[in-house]
Structure 1
């Protein structure tokens, strides 16, 4: 997997407050990357995965949130994982490739031979060491993590065609109007430092077109990029597509789970996927109990150490309970995320729901998502234990 002298850095794109509007109202109170999934901040999962990369020197978080919003977490996770984690604030959105290029001098401080690039709102098992090994064997500039999905859902993502034998990326198109392939881009990459030259070339070409626009009206006939700033570069359209088929990019296919975390509803599903992954990666984070000395635990459940759960409660499957939450006697929780300082009172039922910070679910009440709406019903009879 390369010599011991080779160093690797990881860059995780976390976005900023002008993005992620589909995640509202949850992102109004907390930056989306810090929203808890399976009891850990969303960004914690890719960071933890990076810890498994051989010869990892540094992890960078790149976004345009205020630095103070990440300061406490960055300090905590650096101490926990014993790996330097640093937040780099963009002055404005530069795009995925532009953001990487904007901090190229800092990223190259450790003279890395390889650079991982991950999107924060991706939920997967992050097979990064295996991906690195494949990338080194290809001997190319970049490797994309890819996965096969249904033909119906493929058009929501970047579709690509790869050589079935060599795994070379032959064609890439972002969210095509017609079906191209059931193989899609997962938003996880590894590059050699040559990626910065590729990005610089795109930037130079765009500046040249901007200069041409000043002396010619021909640019008005080229609408694709005329409104983009010269320093805003998208990794998919501006870098991957032009390099496809040139023996510069290859693919590594994952057979495990993968999702994008775009909406609150998806956070419930992804929390469950991470809880299931904890069985093999972090079993100590999963709660247990048979109802004798503590609550009855069904399936994969995370309970923060500061939370108070009544011994007669029944919790799970797929439940995450955050700090200082209180769960009363006879309560039933299934497929839900309970945030900080929430109180679930006696005999209440919460299912397929996210209960917001400092909220209270009353006695004998039911909170359940239906048709993507959260409804709370007061019951006249005893709750059903499903």
Structure 2
């Protein structure tokens, strides 16, 4: 075992069922963190990245899903990676920093020198070993992974200003109304255990304010507007903003891909990004085929071993096919996620779409979206057990579970 001065603990915030409503109808069947992206549960990608950190002692998943929903996955991934992975259930949401603090005794059990903190719905190459080395050189309490985005989209994220020479975080503001910077917070952090003392200070300040008998009219209005419990601590507003410019926080910029997985459309885009990354990190996961004994494979494709794909079908690029799916003769799949137990019959076409568990697509049918991952109807989504009958066309639509389509639809939400 590595010395205590070297140990690292990773914490991944996975949210809960009251979150991820934008991910419906896919989150109706499975917790959003376990939705398969590039053939692996969403949370698997940050877990796999954490496993490459030297001297990693433990990985904790913190959220407020029921423990039974994560039990099987946590057991299997711990065995696969040979690293202890544990799910810790919050009794209620405590905020991104409050959740970390509420399980401080578990986190500090291994006396780590560093704590890696990530949000589950981040899609990235996660350059954690390099980021950790940079963090040690900075000598501060924390380091944020940052990225440059367009000025038009920056206000959707936490914007920040960093010293171009020292990389010190000078200013931080969450989703500002006016443009501050094109440099944004990626939701990936490395802290020393001092972060827990910083959160404790915020909690004490909140408690002191709550105990004041006299509150000014402005403070009363502020409290009523925010209506946050005193044990709710936000990492961005309560920790990062007030401590910026005090030589405690630094930045590490990624030049690789980064996205947030807030919607099904973005999960499809991120599936393609991860499949592309597999070429360098896990080439054994990518399928190959020339159309003779196996299907013709174009670009990056993942096919689960139990899936059956006809040799005359053509698959890819950017396709993920899950367990026990069946793809018939002459079928064409492009930029799509095919979930467990789906049947795609002869000569069907699926493009820019997510096909839900146990759904079926009939002969000569076509299920497709236009491929705009940010638009509400930019891709087509079929919920669980949706049957698209023969020769039916479904374009830019969302279909909730247990529906049968015997007529063509375009740009519809079918409840």
Number of the residue aligned with 2:149: 149
Any residues of structure 2 matched to 1:30-45 within 5 Å, and which? 30-45=30-45
Deviation digits for residues 34-89 of structure 1, max 9, x if unmatched?
Answer: 00000000000000000110100000000000000000000000000010000000
Distance 1:224 1:275, change over 3 A: farther
Q: Which residue of 2 aligns with 1:244?
A: 244
The offset of 1:222, in angstroms, is: 3.4
TM-score under structure 1 normalisation? Answer: 0.95
- Give the aligned partner of residue 336 of structure 2: 336
Equivalent pair of 2:32/2:42 in contact (CA under 8 Å): yes
Residue 220 of structure 1 deviates from its aligned partner by: 1.6
Corresponding residue for 1:384?
A: none
The answer to whether the 8 A contact 1:125-1:256 is kept is yes
State how many pairs are aligned. 379
The Cα of 1:216 is off from its aligned counterpart by: 3.3
- Where do residues 366-381 of structure 1 align in structure 2 (5 Å cutoff)? 366-370=366-370, 371-372=377-378, 374=380, 379=391
Q: Is the 8 A contact 2:265 2:379 kept in 1?
A: no
Match of 1:59 in 2: 59
Alignment check: 8 A CA contact 2:5 2:112 kept: no
Aligned counterparts of 1:225 and 1:282: Cα–Cα separation in 2: 48
Greater displacement, 164-173 / 365-374: 365-374
- Distance in 1, matches of 2:224 and 2:330, equals 59
**Alignment gaps of 5+ in structure 2:** 371-376, 382-387, 394-415
Report the Cα distance in structure 2 between the residues aligned to 1:224 and 1:137, rounded to whole angstroms. 43
Q: Deviations over 1:206-226 (max 9, x none)?
A: 1111111x4334432434875
Segments of structure 1 that go 5 or more residues without pairing to the other structure are 382-386
Which residue in the other structure is 1:348 paired with?
A: 348
- SS of equivalent to 2:171: strand
Q: Work out whether 1:215 is the aligned partner of 2:228.
A: no
TM-fit CA distance, 1:374:
2.9
**Equivalent residues of 1:98, 1:231 under 8 A apart:** yes
Q: Distance in 1 between matches of 2:317 and 2:192?
A: 42
For 2:274 and 2:34, how far apart are their aligned partners in 1? 15
CA contact (8 A) 2:363 2:389 kept: no
Counterpart Cα distance in 1 of 2:190 and 2:380:
40
Task: After TM superposition, give the deviation of residue 229 of structure 1 in Å.
Answer: 0.6
Single out whichever of 220-229 and 152-161 deviates more from structure 2.
220-229
CA distance in 2, matches of 1:279, 1:92: 40
Any residues of structure 2 matched to 1:18-33 within 5 Å, and which?
18-33=18-33
Paired residue secondary structure (1:152): coil
